[in-house]
Structure 1
Amino acid sequence: MLIQGIFLGLSLSFMVGPLLFAILQAGIERGFRAGLAVAGGIWFSDVLYVIAVQYGMETMAAVTALPNFKVWAGLAGGMLLVAFGIGNLFIKKTAASEDPQYERAAPARRQRSYFQYWMKGFLLNTVNPFTVFFWIGIAGAVLIPGGWGTRELLLFFGGMLGTLVITDTLKAYAAKRIRCFLTPRHTQWVQRSIGFILVLFGLVLMARVL
C-alpha cells in the first residue's frame, strides 16, 4: 500500500498544471517560504479530501451527481484561475529581493502575505473539479474494491501525501534558486507568463464544461 501511494504521489507531482505554476510563481516572487505557503494550502486541501473520501464518500458522490455539478464546478474553478492570472498580468509586483520595505516589514504583515499565498493554494486545489473527481476515482478504483482497513489506508495516503509534500517542497526550493538568477525584468516576464498560463488554463477548463 505504501509503494502504491508513493507511485501515485510521484505521478501527481509530475503533472503540469496551475498548482505547479502557482508554487513556482510564489517562490519566484517572495522566496521559499511563500512557495511553501502555497504548497501548504494545497496539502491542507488534499487532507480534507482524504477525510471526505474516508468518511463521507456517499455524500461526495451525491453532490457530484447533482444536475450540472460538473458545469458549475468547472466554471467556478475556471473563473478562479482567470482571476489569479489577470492579477499576474496587470498588477505590478516587486520581488522580495527588490523590495526592502517587505524585508523590513513587521512579522504580522509578512504572515498576512504568507496566509494569502496559503489561501491561494487552498482555493486552487479545492475548487478544481479535477481534484474532486480524482478523489472520487481513487475511492472507486482503489479503496472500495480493495476493502482496505485503517492500517492499509494510512500507509496508502501517508505514502501519497508524504511524496507530494517532499516534491512540492523541492519545487518551492527550486523556484527560490531560479529567483537568484533573475533580473527585475526577467521576474516581471515570468510573472506575466505564469499569469497568461493561468488564464489559459481557466478558459480551457470553462470551455470543456460548457
Structure 2
Amino acid sequence: MLWSFFKGILIGLPFVFVVGPALFSILQTSISKGFYSGLQLAIGISLSDMLIMFLCYFGLIQYFENDNFQIALGFGGSAIMVIYGIYMFNKRTVNQPINKELKLKINWMGVFTEIIKGFFLNIMNPFLWILWLSIVSSGTTKNSTPEAIGFMLGIVSMIFTTDLLKSFFANKIKRILSSHVIIIINKVAGVLLFLCAVFLTIKTLITFNLIPFPFH
C-alpha cells in the first residue's frame, strides 16, 4: 500500500502546473481572505477529487456516464464559474486590513461556505470526471482494494499539499499589496473564471455535438 501511495504522489505531481478555475480561485481567495480561507477551499477541491475517484473505482461511475448528466455538469459548472467570477469582479472591499495581525476568529458558516464552494467548483467539470476515470482505471488495474485506495490517497495528498503551498505563498504576497492592487487581482481572477466558463461551455457543446462543427 505504501508503494501505491508513492505512485499516487508521482501521478499527482504534474497537477502542480495545471492552470484552471481551481488555481485562480485558490490564489484569489488566499489573497483576498487569507490563508485559512484558501485552506478551506482546497479541502473542498480535494474532497470532490476523492469522491470522483472512489465512484470511478467502485464502478458507480456508470450511473453518471450518460450524455445528459455530463452535459448538465458542463453547463452547471460554467454557471457556477460565471456567478463566482462576477462576484469576484464586483468585489470592491478587502475583508480585513492587510497591515495588521488579526486574531483568528472561526466562523463555522464561513468555513463550510468555502469548502462547499471548492467542492462544487471542482466537481461540476465533466472533463475532470473523464480524467480521473482514465487515471484510476489504468492506475489500479490488478491492484487490491487497499492498494487502490493508497494510490488514490497519494494523488489527492499531492494535489492538496500543492494547493496549500499556493495558498500559503499567495497569502504571503498579500502582505506587500495595497488594497487597490487586491481589488485589481479580484477583477482579473473574475475575468479568468469567466473565460474558463466560456471555454467549458464551448468544449461541452462541441464534445456532445450540440452545435454543428464548422469544418465538417
TM-score, normalised with respect to structure 1: 0.87
Q: What pairs up with 1:152-167 in 2 under 5 angstroms? A: 152-167=147-162
Equivalent residue for 1:35, pick from 34, 38, 53: 38
Matched, 1:172 2:167: yes
Say which SS state the counterpart of residue 27 (structure 1) adopts. Answer: helix
Unaligned runs of 5+ in 2: 206-216
Q: Provide the rounded CA distance (Å) in 2 between the counterparts of 1:164 and 1:118.
A: 16
| Post-superposition offset of 1:52 | 1.4
Tell me which protein shows more helix as a share of its residues. 1
Equivalent residue for 1:8, pick from 4, 11, 25: 11
| Post-superposition offset of 1:85 | 0.3
| Post-superposition offset of 1:96 | 1.9
Q: Provide the rounded CA distance (Å) in 2 between the counterparts of 1:99 and 1:79.
A: 35
Query: Letter of the aligned partner of 2:193 in structure 1?
Result: L
Alpha carbons 2:12, 2:156 under 8 Å: kept: yes
Matched, 1:136 2:133: yes
Instruction: Tell me the residue number matched to 2:112.
Output: 115
CA 1:151 to 1:69, structure 2 compared with 1: closer, same or farther past 3 Å? Answer: closer
Q: What pairs up with 1:70-81 in 2 under 5 angstroms? A: 70-81=70-81
Q: What pairs up with 1:45-194 in 2 under 5 angstroms? A: 45-55=48-58, 57=59, 59-64=60-65, 66-97=66-97, 107=105, 110-143=107-140, 146-194=141-189
CA 1:127 to 1:99, structure 2 compared with 1: closer, same or farther past 3 Å? Answer: farther
What is the Cα-based RMSD across aligned positions, in Å? 2.1
CA 1:50 to 1:71, structure 2 compared with 1: closer, same or farther past 3 Å? Answer: closer
Q: Percent of aligned pairs with the same residue?
A: 29
Alpha carbons 2:5, 2:151 under 8 Å: kept: yes
Alpha carbons 1:95, 1:187 under 8 Å: kept: no
CA 1:72 to 1:185, structure 2 compared with 1: closer, same or farther past 3 Å? Answer: same
Query: Letter of the aligned partner of 1:80 in structure 2?
Result: I
4+ residue runs of structure 1 moved beyond 6 angstroms? Answer: none
Alpha carbons 2:91, 2:183 under 8 Å: kept: no
- After TM superposition, the structure 1 stretch with the greater mean CA deviation from structure 2, 86-95 or 179-188, is 86-95
Alpha carbons 2:53, 2:133 under 8 Å: kept: no
Q: Provide the rounded CA distance (Å) in 1 between the counterparts of 2:165 and 2:67.
A: 40
Unaligned runs of 5+ in 1: none
| Post-superposition offset of 1:33 | 0.3
Alpha carbons 2:74, 2:125 under 8 Å: kept: yes
Q: Provide the rounded CA distance (Å) in 2 between the counterparts of 1:6 and 1:139.
A: 13
